[in-house]
Amino acid sequence: MKEEYLCKTPKDMEALGAKFGKQAEKGTVISLRGSLGAGKTVFARGLARALGINESIVSPTFTLIQEYDGTLKMYHMDLYRLSCEEDFMALGGEDFLYSDGICLIEWSEIIDEMLPKGTIFVNIKINDDQSRVVEVTDERSRS
Ligand SMILES: Nc1ncnc2c1ncn2[C@@H]1O[C@H](COP(=O)(O)OP(=O)(O)O)[C@@H](O)[C@H]1O
Ligand SMILES: [Mg+2]
């Protein structure tokens, strides 16, 4: 399934993240795509809020993985600085892909091969007027 959303403001993006947070089930993996500053972390923040997580949500660029406790656990990753799959394995990253919580991954391209079958792809593009087009692809319905 493929859906497209228009987010005119960061608030819209948070609301979209929250929508996915409300629907999310244990084991959901969401790959957040888009250039630097596209709004991946804003989406993650909205999703966190829907899970009742009130901590500040920032890209875990240096820690790679940040864990939060909400109505479900949320694992937020930013793999921008990761150089290979092996490093991801060494970090125990695979456990987060098959977890009892929700796993959000920014810059997941480096572990594309490892992403579970049901991964949801959220692709964000920046328009000239700074609004964002968000294309959501749900792998589960891909042939
Ligand atoms: N329509 C919009 N949707 C999301 N973010 C927006 C929008 N317009 C402006 N922004 C701004 O763009 C930035 C996105 O940052 P961030 O989510 O950290 O990006 P990323 O994690 O993709 O690198 C934020 O400062 C946010 O306020
Ligand atoms: Mg980010």
41-67: per-residue pLDDT in tens?
999 999 999 999 999 999 988 889 999
Prediction pTM value: 0.96
Report residue 142's pLDDT band, with 50, 70 and 90 as the boundaries.
very low
Tokens of 101: 């919580």
Ligand 1 site, residue 123, Cβ cutoff 6 A: no
Ligand 1 atom 1, closest CA:
9
- Among 9, 11, 14, 42, name the best residue to mutate to test ligand 1's pocket (greatest count of ligand atoms within 8 A of Cβ): 42
Ligand 1 site, residue 66, Cβ cutoff 6 A: no
Given a cut of 70, is residue 141 above it in pLDDT? no
Distance 40 CA to ligand 1 centre (A): 7
Question: Mean pLDDT across the stretch 135-141?
Answer: 82
DSSP string, the chain: -EEEEEE-SHHHHHHHHHHHHHH--TT-EEEEE-STTSSHHHHHHHHHHHTT--S-----TTTSEEEEESSSEEEEEE-TT---HHHHHHTTHHHHHTSSSEEEEESGGGGGGGS-TTPEEEEEEE-TTS-EEEEEEEGGG--
What domains can you pick out in the chain, each with its CATH number? 16-131 (3.40.50.300)
